[in-house]
């Protein structure tokens, strides 16, 4: 056997190939390739050619920068947005500090010093943790059993969620009267949908005459520097979901649809189709998530409103549901978390009154 290819995942392949014999024992090397079967075949051919010419490097003889660069080139299973973030972390936080160290020489003290330098330079523990986890993800198979499996990322304090109080929500809605952002912000508050999900919503996803009226989350808009705007599927099965709509939201969407129809007819775009974006640009195309966040920022600043991020609208939606006594399982499914434990991790601290309610429920239960 010189080499073979085994499918490991949706777009992941394990290569197994001979690299010669030592003391009469055959030596085998393994590698993982991300991409198509042809990508795996091409890489296997490269490895076998390197074996024949005695130019195949030992994994641990490579530097951190070399190994990281090779991994990023073949990380085809990552979304463009995730890959862009990985490349940014590698370029700014990992390679400048650890890139020249060979994998076989990497030690716990290198990792500790790296953490200290990043934190001392003003980087948040959260960002340092992201960089560390990327490094671990990429290098752990090559340095199995060494420092990266023994030394974890720095502890990060839980970041306080940005949440609008009821009076602040009322002030926002009042200030939005007649503003172009009004329908988008109202739907964000009423559904807890993410920014990209709102911008990927199509009229065919909305059933205003159903009982109850619902919308279905099927896609979201992703924006990267290299690829621009694109539609992508939800990350998890729970991300694709139905969301029931309150009467006020239904009325708002009906009015928005009439307004859009009038504009489309006026500029010659024709009637609204099922694939027409609810929050597209004037030409009906994808709208930039970053541009929407900038518009939201300008709006709250100009109106003297709390300067929270767009994502705070999602947090506000969840906080209202918790305050109204909606159970965590229902909330988790409504906002598209992969499992309720994720919702508890993020919003569990908002359940402060739950234990008191439990005590009240037990009062007189055994009499």
CA distance 229 to 241: 23
Would you list the DSSP string of 174-225?
HHTTT-TTHHHHHHHHHH---HHHHHT-BGGGEETTSSS-EEEE--EEEEET
Would you list the DSSP string of 230-296?
EEE--SSGGGSEEEE--HHHHHHHHHHHHHHHHHHHHTT--SPPTT-BTT--TTS-PPPHHHHHHHH
Least Cα distance to 239 among 225, 258, 219, 255 occurs for: 219
**For each of the chain's 367 residues, which pLDDT tens digit applies?**
588 888 877 777 878 888 777 566 676 777 778 788 888 888 889 888 888 888 776 666 788 998 888 888 877 678 888 889 999 999 999 999 999 998 878 888 899 899 999 999 988 888 999 999 999 888 776 655 444 554 677 776 667 789 999 999 999 999 999 999 999 999 999 999 999 999 999 999 999 999 999 999 999 999 998 889 999 998 888 999 999 999 999 999 999 999 999 999 998 888 999 999 999 998 889 999 999 999 999 999 999 999 999 999 999 999 999 989 899 999 999 999 989 998 888 888 787 766 666 666 666 666 5
Looking up tokens 């600043």 gives 301
Tokens found for residue 193? 């949908």
Angle at 10 between CA 81 and CA 39, to 5 degrees: 85
Residues paired with residue 228 on neighbouring β-strands, in sequence order:
224
Q: Say what the pLDDT of residue 46 is.
A: 87
Tokens found for residue 136? 């671990």
Angle at 286 between CA 187 and CA 260, to 5 degrees: 60
């Amino acid at each position: 056997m010189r080499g073979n290819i085994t499918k490991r995942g949706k777009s992941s392949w394990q290569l197994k190939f001979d690299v010669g014999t030592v003391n009469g024992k055959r030596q085998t090397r393994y590698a993982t390739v991300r991409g198509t079967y042809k990508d795996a075949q091409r890489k296997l051919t490269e490895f076998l050619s390197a074996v024949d010419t005695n130019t195949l490097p030992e994994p641990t003889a490579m530097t951190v920068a070399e190994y990281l660069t090779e991994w990023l080139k073949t990380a085809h299973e990552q979304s463009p947005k995730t890959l862009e973030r990985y490349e940014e972390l590698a370029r700014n936080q990992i390679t400048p500090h650890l890139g020249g160290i060979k994998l076989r020489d990497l030690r716990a003290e290198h990792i500790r010093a790296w953490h200290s330098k990043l934190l001392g330079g003003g980087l948040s523990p959260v960002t340092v943790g992201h960089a560390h986890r990327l490094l671990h993800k990429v290098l752990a198979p090559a340095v199995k059993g060494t420092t990266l499996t023994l030394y974890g990322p720095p502890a990060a304090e839980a970041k306080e969620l940005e949440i609008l109080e009821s009076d602040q929500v009322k002030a926002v809605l009042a200030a939005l009267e007649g503003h172009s952002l009004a329908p988008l912000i109202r739907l964000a508050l009423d559904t807890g949908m993410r920014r990209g999900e709102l911008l990927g919503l199509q009229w065919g996803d909305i059933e205003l005459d159903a009982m109850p009226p619902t919308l279905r989350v099927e896609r979201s808009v992703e924006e990267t520097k290299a690829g621009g705007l694109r539609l992508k599927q939800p990350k998890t099965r729970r991300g694709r979901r139905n969301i029931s709509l309150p009467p006020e939201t239904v009325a708002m969407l009906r009015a928005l649809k009439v307004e859009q129809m009038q504009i489309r007819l006026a500029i010659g775009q024709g009637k609204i189709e099922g694939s027409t974006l609810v929050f597209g640009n004037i030409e009906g195309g994808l709208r930039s998530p970053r541009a929407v966040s900038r518009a939201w920022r300008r709006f709250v600043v100009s109106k003297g409103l709390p300067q929270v991020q767009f994502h705070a609208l999602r947090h506000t939606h969840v906080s209202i549901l918790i305050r109204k006594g909606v159970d965590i399982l229902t909330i988790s499914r409504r906002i598209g978390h992969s499992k309720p434990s994720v919702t508890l991790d993020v919003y569990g601290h908002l359940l402060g009154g739950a234990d008191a309610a439990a005590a009240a429920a037990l009062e007189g239960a055994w009499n």
